[in-house]
Structures are given as C-alpha cells and as structure tokens.
C-alpha cells in the first residue's frame, strides 16, 4: 500500500447536510475506483450507530471505517475537507479520512504514521486550511 | 504492565489509540505492552487495564463483570493529554507513580 493518500482520492467541499452524507462523499473516490462497494459506506455509518462517535480521534478529525470484509476490494484511504464543520454525534468534524482495510494488518504501517500525524493538533488545522488538494498532498508527503 | 486498546473492530481506531497510549507511557518513563484488540476479543485477554471509548467501556464492563481490570474511557484517541491523564490514574492505582 502507498505511503499516504492519492491526490485523486482527496476532496474539498463546502459543507454536508449530516455526517452520513459527509462519509458517503468522503468515500466516493474509493467507491468510484473500485476499492470498496456501496455496502462499505453503509457499514461505516452503521458502526457509528453501534459503537458511538469514537471515530472522532482528534478535534475536528474523524476516521470512518468498518470491519475488513467482502465490501473492501483493495486497501486504501480517501480524504475529505469540509469548509463548514458537520456534526458527528456532538462533535464538529471538518476533516474525514476514510479507511478501507482488506485485512487486519496490511494498513498498519500507514495507521502508525497517521497516529503520529494526528498527535500534532496543528497538522489537522493545516490540512483543513488548505485551498486545494495539491496543498494537502504536499503537507501529507512532508509530515505523514 | 499489559494494556489493551479496544475499538469496535480492532483494525483502525484501536491502532491509533495504541500509539497514543505508548507515547503516554514513554513520557512517564514506564514500560508497557500495549495490544490493540476488538471488543469481542476482550474477555480472552489478560490485561492490567483496558482503554476504549466511553461507549464501548460500558459494554466491556458488562462483559467482564468484577474482574479487577482497570477500565478507562477515552473520548479522542489521538489526544495525548487526555490519554496521559488516564495513564497517570492507572500508574497511581498501581503504585507506579
């Protein structure tokens, strides 16, 4: 798996009606590229209903994901920045990174790097402030 | 010291939480083995403490009953300060601080 997120899997949008719409939008590049089936989007949304908003890992950041399974064809990540935050069960979120994992280990190195990235709160704010995906890609290449 | 980092599936968030817990222990200068796990696997693991989200901690409490395992609810898995506060409580409870 590649080091971080492909630029064509990144999007910037103005807003989303609710967290379900935001997650579906964030996952769209992976769906269109054949990494996931539509079921995976429903599973990610269902996971929040079951387990609560723990995918909000840091202020304004969420990592939607579900169990590896039939609905994931290829391990990958996609990213969405919302210019206006959307509510995720009491947490305002502006940066979404969708994780689609084909098995329970192939993405571990990437997640470790993501964990280090997220512990610096400034990194999240810098990505949110980006005006285009090229700028986001540059930050991730340097710091992720 | 053995600690479990638990999320719903054991594949994504729990790995992130594991990294934050490891950082917190390093900052206290204490060695700990941190294992990430999913909620269904919790009963089979012998651990000194379990870290998870407040929602999931409730489920774990019901599953484990009175096992003596210390349980800590973490709202934001990447929040080093929040995780450190719970690790500090754990170390105090274990007389390691």
List of domains in chain A: 7-139 (3.40.930.10)
- Token pair belonging to A69: 């399974």
- The residue to which tokens 């512990």 are assigned: A119
- At B81 the pLDDT is 97
d(CA A78, CA B92): 41
Rounded to two decimals, the ipTM of the complex is 0.89
CB of A88 within 8 Å of a chain B CB? The answer is no
pLDDT in tens, B22-63: 999 999 999 999 999 988 888 878 899 999 999 899 989 988
Residues 6+ apart with CB under 8 A from A2: none
- Token pair, residue B66, equals 């009175």
Q: Is the pLDDT of residue A69 over 80?
A: yes
Interface size, chain A vs chain B, as Cβ–Cβ contacts under 8 Å:
82
Instruction: Work out how many domains chain B is built from and give that number.
Output: 1
C-alpha to C-alpha distance for B54 and A115, rounded to whole angstroms: 20
**Is A55–B19 a contact, with Cβ atoms under 8 angstroms apart?**
no
Q: What percent of chain B has pLDDT over 70?
A: 100
What are the C-alpha distances in Å from B88 to residues B16, B24, B29? 19, 9, 11
Mutate to test the interface with B, among A45, A49, A51, A113 (most CBs of B within 10 A): A51
Which pairing describes strands B2-7 and A60-62: parallel, antiparallel, or unpaired?
unpaired
Domain that holds residue B10: 2-93
Average pLDDT of the residues in A40-49:
96
The two three-digit tokens of residue A40, written as one number: 């995976």
pLDDT of residue A2: 55
| B 44-83: CB under 8 A from A | 52-56, 75-80
What residues of chain B, 28 to 47, have a C-beta less than 8 Å from chain A? 39
Averaged pLDDT for residues B11-30: 95
pLDDT at A1 over 50: no
Tell me the per-residue pLDDT of A109-138, one tens digit each, with 9 for 90 and over.
899 999 999 999 999 999 999 999 999 999
Average pLDDT score, chain B? 92
Separation CA B75–CA B27 (nearest Å): 20
Contact at CB, B77 and A57, closer than 8 angstroms: yes
Contact B67, A104 (CB under 8 A): no
User: pLDDT tens digits, residue range A5-38?
Assistant: 999 999 999 999 999 999 999 999 999 999 999 9
Put simply, the answer to whether B16 touches A114 (Cβ < 8 Å) is: yes
CATH number at residue B41: 3.40.50.2300
Residue with tokens 């934050």: B20
């Amino acid at each position: 798996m590649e080091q971080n997120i492909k630029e064509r899997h990144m999007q910037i949008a103005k807003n989303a009606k609710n967290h379900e719409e935001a997650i579906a939008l964030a996952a769209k590049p992976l769906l269109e590229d054949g990494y996931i089936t539509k079921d995976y989007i429903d599973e990610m949304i269902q996971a929040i209903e079951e387990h609560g908003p723990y995918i909000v890992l840091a202020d304004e950041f969420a990592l939607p994901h579900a169990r590896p399974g039939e609905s994931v064809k290829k391990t990958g990540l996609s990213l969405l920045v919302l210019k206006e935050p959307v509510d995720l069960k009491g947490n305002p979120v502006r940066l979404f990174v969708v994780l689609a994992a084909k098995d329970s280990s192939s993405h571990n190195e990437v997640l470790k790097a993501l964990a280090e990235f997220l512990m610096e709160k400034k990194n999240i704010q810098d990505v949110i402030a980006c005006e285009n995906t090229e700028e986001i890609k540059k930050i991730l290449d340097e710091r992720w | 010291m053995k600690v479990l980092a638990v999320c719903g599936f054991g594949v994504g968030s729990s790995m992130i939480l594991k990294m934050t817990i490891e950082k917190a222990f390093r900052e206290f200068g204490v060695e700990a083995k941190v294992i990430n796990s999913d909620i269904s696997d919790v009963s089979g693991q012998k651990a000194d403490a379990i870290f998870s989200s407040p929602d999931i901690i409730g489920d774990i409490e019901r599953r484990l009953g009175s096992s003596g395992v210390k349980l800590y609810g973490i709202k934001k898995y990447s929040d080093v300060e929040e995780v450190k506060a719970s690790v500090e409580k754990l170390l105090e409870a274990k007389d390691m601080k």
